[in-house]
Amino acid sequence: MQLYNTLSAEERAELIDQAGKQRLTLSFYAYAKIEDPKKFRDDLFIAWNQLDALGRTYVAKEGINAQMSVPAENFEAFRETLEAYDFMRGIRLNVAVEHDDHSFLKLTVKVRDKIVADGLNDETFDVTNIGVHLKAAEFNQILEDPNTIVVDFRNHYESEIGHFKGAITPDVETFRESLPIINEQLKDFKEDKNLVMYCTGGIRCEKASAYFKHQGFKNVFQLEGGIINYAKQIKEENIESKFIGKNFVFDHRLGERITNDIVSQCHQCGKPCDNHTNCENDGCHLLFIQCDECKATMENCCSVECLDTIHLPLVEQVKLRRGLQVGNKVFRKGKSEKLLFKHSGELSDKSLAVAENKEHKPKDIRQKIKKVLLGKAEHYYVKAQIGLFSIENNELNIGDKLLISGPTTGAEEYILEKMLVNGKENTTAKIGDKVTFEVPFRVRLSDTLFKIVS
């Protein structure tokens, strides 16, 4: 009985690409009393593993909180695994606005004390006495009321790339920090103002709305299903988006576009940009906003120090990290003096630029063509418009029709006419070779290289 992952992220990514089937990214949560979270966790893992479902899920005695990637063909079967439990019958599944087959590459189901780290003692107030749920049209309407105060209950790195116009955006790194700050800031408005709150998928507001009602706020409202559900509704109902920019998400994509407005800047050069990245240095992993030009120049690093570090021999890098917290423990979310153009707290509703419209690009490209994995992008030389790729699988030849695919690049096709293999012009590249060739579009380090075979 398999209760853990047996494949690495890289192996899983290759299997997904070879399968060539569309996957859906979705999230859901439910508060309920779960007597045996460990058994609940094991049962879910077994059921989901059989459906090739991947993602990150937390279960606790108070309920479940999940972000998942599910094969489209298994969507209804996945829903059935949830509705086998009474408290999840009819549960709302927040399906992502944008999909990426690599949004999650492992199935992780963990038992936690709480499904959201809120720092609250649930025994001191009625957690079921929540605020009024508002659908997108209702949310838009209440925002027009001058008696309304709207609060973003996400963290600074989330709100910086996108938020509702006029919202209070606390300069916090965790949800638990925002609760006392907002309570103190709005203490004089408990009786006569509409306290309207929102978050990514709704789960933070479920607890926050109950907490603020307990604190004496009379008129408490929350966006049903969060920004994810709001984006779906405004598209289906063709209504105006009061949200501007991108919605930060906690998977490989790190964001999905709601409007074409870019409201944030590259933290290194100040150019309008809303693409997050993690510093390439394994001893840093700082989360920050980085434009394509800085990404190429700095090789995904947040500073010159980190850039120098990644070029050291691996043994030297390990020595530098010895005794320090690394990996997930050092994962820092955008707070560093090195980030010259970082903005937190009170954010502008002004659009700095308009994102490139990629609607002309083919949808669900993996369903429409047959391809084989070749390798991945390692560098992009901006001025020369040349991409560097490592060949990890199969053979590459002059005349091959290629597909370069990634969350920002989209899906670009290209016929290879000339290339350098390990620095010398050649007609064939094999596994282990490094190849460079001209690319008439920008390439990112997260891009994958495929050969189109039909």
Alpha-carbon separation of residue 288 from 124, 200, 285, 336, 427 (angstroms)? 37, 19, 9, 9, 39
Q: What is the pLDDT of residue 334?
A: 65
Residue 338 clears pLDDT 50, i.e. is over it: yes
Active site residue 294: no
Q: What is the pLDDT of residue 357?
A: 64
**pLDDT tens column, 246-265:** 999 988 888 999 999 999 99
Residue 349 clears pLDDT 60, i.e. is over it: yes
In this structure, is the dihedral angle defined by the CA atoms of residues 247, 217, 115 and 39, taken in order, positive or negative?
negative
Q: Which of 127, 24, 10 is nearest to 69 (CA)?
A: 24
Note the pTM of the prediction, 2 decimals. 0.74
Residue 2 clears pLDDT 70, i.e. is over it: no
3-state secondary structure of 35: coil
Residue 194 clears pLDDT 60, i.e. is over it: yes
* Residue with more model confidence, 2 or 187: 187
Confidence of residue 16 (pLDDT cuts 50, 70, 90): confident
Is there a contact between 198 and 209 (Cβ–Cβ < 8 Å)?
Answer: no
Region 334-351: what's the mean pLDDT? 87
Confidence of residue 225 (pLDDT cuts 50, 70, 90): very high
Q: What is the pLDDT of residue 324?
A: 65
Q: What is the pLDDT of residue 1?
A: 56
Of the listed ranges 20-29, 136-145, 323-332, the one predicted with least confidence: 323-332
What single letter denotes the amino acid at residue 423? Answer: G
For residue 109, the 8-state DSSP code is: E
Determine which one of 199, 205, 279, 302 is catalytic: 199
Is there a contact between 96 and 252 (Cβ–Cβ < 8 Å)?
Answer: no
Q: What is the pLDDT of residue 44?
A: 97
Find all residues with CB under 8 Å of 20, minimum gap 6, and list them: 366, 367, 370, 371
10 Å Cβ neighbour count for 294? 22
Residue 270 clears pLDDT 90, i.e. is over it: yes
Spatial distance between the Cα atoms of 70 and 90, rounded to a whole number of angstroms: 18
24: left (phi over 0), alpha (psi -120 to 50) or beta: beta
Q: What is the pLDDT of residue 407?
A: 67
**pLDDT tens column, 356-376:** 765 434 333 334 456 788 998
Most confident of 25-29, 117-121, 320-324: 25-29
Q: What is the pLDDT of residue 421?
A: 96
Q: Which of 352, 337, 349 is nearest to 268 (CA)?
A: 337
Region 308-336: what's the mean pLDDT? 73
10 Å Cβ neighbour count for 78? 19
Region 173-179: what's the mean pLDDT? 92
